[in-house]
Structure 1
Amino acid sequence: MAERVDLLLRDVRIATLEPGIGKGALGVLERGALAARDGKVLWVGPEAELPAFAAAKVLTLDGRWVMPGLIDCHTHLVHGGTRAGEWEMRLKGASYEEVARAGGGILATVKATRAASEAELVAAALKRLDALLAEGVTTVEVKSGYGLNAADEAKMLRAAARLGAMRDVAIVRSFLGAHALPPEAAGDRAGYIREVCEVQLPRIVEEGLAEAVDGFCETIAFSPDEIARVFDAARAHGLAVRLHAEQLSDQGGAALAAGYGALSADHLEYLSQDGIAAMKRAGTVAVLLPGAFYFLGETQKPPVAKLRQAGVPMAVATDCNPGTSPMTSLLLAMNMAATLFRLTPEETIIGVTCAAAKALGRAERIGTLLPGKDCDLAIFDIEKPAELAYRIGFNPLHGVVRGGRVRRAA
């Protein structure tokens, strides 16, 4: 008797992202098939070797491409308000100080986020999330960091959880209390870091609101010593860590993060060779965020060639946020990573699948198509995978399979 499966895909070209299954770095099967049961990949391989399955649902895809569901591994999706006004000011020549005096900057988003209800945050974030889902994204990381007190950081993370309940997507939550100094701290940096470690983080842990702790290590944010205190607290609570590092200057944040076994170090425009070596030793993923680089008009690029030479995995993400990367297209982030940072098209695909999964600590579940992994798939109407990074403003998504359930593109 034929083995029962819930879903069978036939006549497809598959990028498994497993070089051992298929050809090249993307693990390509030119004429492949895939079977799923109970939300997991059961079998994947050449269609000529397809076992006799009794499938509840069969999709014949006429040579379309199937690959792991895309992963946006760095976003600030939940926030209140917009900062279009300060963007206009900057375009007209206003300095950072002038923008700040006019009420702009990160604290403007903090004010708007604190004023918004949880329901209002959810409603606003859903619009941004839907744009990502429409491109084949099946997993999204969402950070807090615009509350900067225990109640509002928790509110942001609860809103993020509700997104996952309202849409067919996996939401990964990160606590980013060490994002900026709130106005009520009145310059007391040590006191605020103490609050993050002793008040905010314990509440987040008690309510089960995050699985990782993030921070912003920069001259305009927090020093390596201050971030180390936050990471010590995260370690004491058994949470993973990741870090915004070396975006505007080399503060040694990447090496610090790697020393704590960080899942990722993100931005990295000013990453040093010592930082690269530390990340390689620790297995820390480099998350590249070309949207912020573009939006801020930066000129210092991440050392992609050196990261490539060292064998440090490179992920690509939108960094969706209101101040420096108001972008809700992971496909556009892939194009930017290729055109601005000179990643190859293959590297951009790896960057939004298996490398992104590793950056979230979920490589055992998602990011590649192997038996036993979650059956999260994106189906694209393209002739070759490079088209995903090549086109601008074009969405070739044909459909999505999430947890073995077929979800067509909108």
Structure 2
Amino acid sequence: MKADLILYNIGTLVTAKEIEKSSIMTNMENIEIIDDAYLAVKDGKVLETGKQPVPEELKGENTVMTDAEYKVVTPGIVDSHTHLVFYGSRENELPLKIKGIPYLEILRNGGGILSTVRATRKATKEQLTEKALETLDRMLCFGVTTVESKSGYGLNLEEEIKQLEVNRELNKRHPIDIVSTFMGAHAVPEEYKEKPHEYIDEIIKMLPEIKKRNLAEFCDIFCEDEVFSVDESRKILNTAKKEGFKLKIHADEIVSLGGAELAGEVGAVSAEHLMAVSDKGIEELYKNKVIADILPATSFNLGKNYAPVRKMIDKGVDIAISSDYNPGSCPTENMQLVMQICSSQLKMTPAEIFKGVTLNGARALTLDEKTGSLEKGKNADFVVYDTDNINYIFYNFGINHVKDVYKNGKLVVKNKHKVY
């Protein structure tokens, strides 16, 4: 079969294909990395990868031959935890955070999530869409090709539907693939402040309507002290599961509440944040094959502890790495910065980090049969970095190393600028 596109002279090709683990590898390092490589694409899918020279049988008269100039090529980044659709911003809270006022105290006094809820409810669908499209353009230029987008800034049926419908519109209008998550259980809205149990009943009533409209694949909940308890989270998640949703859970972010244990119990695909996860919680993640989705830029921004990544890796837990892009605790679209924090602060190796933002990111969205690695038949989503070795991406931090981005085999970012 003749390829439509062949990238040749690839200095280092990180396919992220899982390989047999050697005795010196962690469970996060067992990905294929090929030096002096080529990548062939057909009909928007990966046709073949390998070590040069390029097989002649892949070349046809219409094959586009592109010299990668010995740069690094990796799968497109999968950002598997974001709060993409919202309105307004929260820089007014910055002085409070600098003074050390806790996040939950800001929320308790009507700030935080509730502040964004007020702004998002006032915004039109068109305003939300245009704002999110600008954000997606920035993400794309940093190498992101798939994004999970949670609702949770509406906190009533009408407004949650509005956010989720924006997700659907974004998926039609932007090259990045959008995976939609319903998170009506993000906080208790102000109108239910004195009757939080009634809001839990409202969330349960929302679930069948969201599913009927096919607006979300996942259901998520903020299982946290002063937000939703383990028992309340269990009730909502089990109901969501019966309605046909896959499950995610914001677990053990601030307080070690037992969210990771609950994730294992209810069969969640991923448990997210995990800065305060217990040893028992780590055991349950491993035992139940729950992806630990860590959000290190949130810890960095809030000045909080990081998730115990090395302990989880040593236990054999699969780690995904995400941005947690949101207007409060992590307003950054720069996934390369997130990756660099993993290197400098969490002491993760380049191979571990690339597995976390590609293959395991896709696993956290149950998309690993389609994307997350450059294997035959998978989407040809890949990034060309303007460097000749993977270490440099982590060494020179805080800048954008992306040169080009391809989505389904089509060039969508060229020389750091969108061209779609």
Instruction: Indicate whether the TM-score tops 0.5.
Output: yes
- Deviation of 1:69 after TM superposition, in Å, equals 0.5
1:32-57 CA distance string (max 9 Å, x none): 11211121111111123624121432
Equivalent position of 1:131 in the other structure: 138
Establish whether residue 233 from structure 1 lines up as the match of residue 205 from structure 2: no
Identify the match of residue 395 of structure 1 among 394, 400, 403.
Answer: 400
1:295-322 CA distance string (max 9 Å, x none): 2111x33222221111111111110111
Identify the match of residue 153 of structure 1 among 151, 160, 165.
Answer: 160
Establish whether residue 245 from structure 1 lines up as the match of residue 251 from structure 2: yes
Equivalent position of 1:116 in the other structure: 123
| 2-structure distance, mates of 1:303, 1:350 | 17
- Deviation of 1:22 after TM superposition, in Å, equals 12
Equivalent position of 1:62 in the other structure: 69
| 1-structure distance, mates of 2:21, 2:288 | 29
Are the counterparts in 1 of residues 320 and 360 from structure 2 also a CA contact under 8 Å?
yes
Establish whether residue 215 from structure 1 lines up as the match of residue 221 from structure 2: yes
Secondary structure of 1:315's counterpart equals: strand
Decide whether aligned partners of structure 1 residues 98 and 222 sit closer, same or farther in structure 2, where only a CA change above 3 A counts: closer
Question: What letter corresponds to residue 201 of structure 1 in structure 2?
Answer: L
- Deviation of 1:285 after TM superposition, in Å, equals 0.8
Identify the match of residue 9 of structure 2 among 8, 11, 15.
Answer: 11
Equivalent position of 2:81 in the other structure: 74
Establish whether residue 170 from structure 1 lines up as the match of residue 177 from structure 2: yes
Are the counterparts in 2 of residues 276 and 312 from structure 1 also a CA contact under 8 Å?
yes
Decide whether aligned partners of structure 1 residues 100 and 282 sit closer, same or farther in structure 2, where only a CA change above 3 A counts: closer
- Deviation of 1:209 after TM superposition, in Å, equals 0.8
Secondary structure of 1:29's counterpart equals: strand
| 1-structure distance, mates of 2:237, 2:146 | 25
Are the counterparts in 2 of residues 295 and 324 from structure 1 also a CA contact under 8 Å?
yes
| 1-structure distance, mates of 2:57, 2:373 | 24
| 1-structure distance, mates of 2:291, 2:379 | 21
Identify the match of residue 327 of structure 1 among 327, 332, 335.
Answer: 332
Are the counterparts in 2 of residues 7 and 35 from structure 1 also a CA contact under 8 Å?
yes
Equivalent position of 2:314 in the other structure: 309
1:246-301 CA distance string (max 9 Å, x none): 11111111111122221111111111111111111221111111121112111x33
TM-score by length of structure 1 reads: 0.94
Are the counterparts in 2 of residues 264 and 359 from structure 1 also a CA contact under 8 Å?
yes
Are the counterparts in 1 of residues 8 and 54 from structure 2 also a CA contact under 8 Å?
no
Equivalent position of 1:294 in the other structure: 300
| 2-structure distance, mates of 1:374, 1:104 | 41
Equivalent position of 2:274 in the other structure: 268
Establish whether residue 279 from structure 1 lines up as the match of residue 285 from structure 2: yes
Decide whether aligned partners of structure 1 residues 99 and 266 sit closer, same or farther in structure 2, where only a CA change above 3 A counts: closer
Secondary structure of 2:7's counterpart equals: strand
| 2-structure distance, mates of 1:150, 1:307 | 37
Equivalent position of 1:256 in the other structure: 262
| 2-structure distance, mates of 1:218, 1:239 | 21
5+ long unaligned stretches in structure 1: none
Question: What letter corresponds to residue 185 of structure 1 in structure 2?
Answer: Y
Secondary structure of 1:4's counterpart equals: coil
| 1-structure distance, mates of 2:6, 2:83 | 36
Question: What letter corresponds to residue 2 of structure 2 in structure 1?
Answer: R
Decide whether aligned partners of structure 1 residues 186 and 103 sit closer, same or farther in structure 2, where only a CA change above 3 A counts: closer
- Deviation of 1:5 after TM superposition, in Å, equals 2.1
Equivalent position of 2:194 in the other structure: 187
1:97-124 CA distance string (max 9 Å, x none): 8745875221111100100011111111
Task: Identify the range of structure 1 (79-88 vs 20-29) with the bigger mean alpha-carbon deviation.
Answer: 20-29
TM-score by length of structure 2 reads: 0.92
5+ long unaligned stretches in structure 2: 23-28
1:203-230 CA distance string (max 9 Å, x none): 2111111100001111021011111111
Secondary structure of 1:52's counterpart equals: helix
- Deviation of 1:393 after TM superposition, in Å, equals 2.3
Establish whether residue 83 from structure 1 lines up as the match of residue 90 from structure 2: yes
- Deviation of 1:125 after TM superposition, in Å, equals 1.6
- Deviation of 1:348 after TM superposition, in Å, equals 1.5
Identity score, percent? 36
Are the counterparts in 2 of residues 242 and 264 from structure 1 also a CA contact under 8 Å?
yes
Are the counterparts in 1 of residues 141 and 405 from structure 2 also a CA contact under 8 Å?
no
Decide whether aligned partners of structure 1 residues 97 and 201 sit closer, same or farther in structure 2, where only a CA change above 3 A counts: closer
| 2-structure distance, mates of 1:95, 1:49 | 57
Establish whether residue 385 from structure 1 lines up as the match of residue 377 from structure 2: no
| 1-structure distance, mates of 2:314, 2:100 | 39
- Deviation of 1:191 after TM superposition, in Å, equals 1.4
Question: What letter corresponds to residue 5 of structure 1 in structure 2?
Answer: A
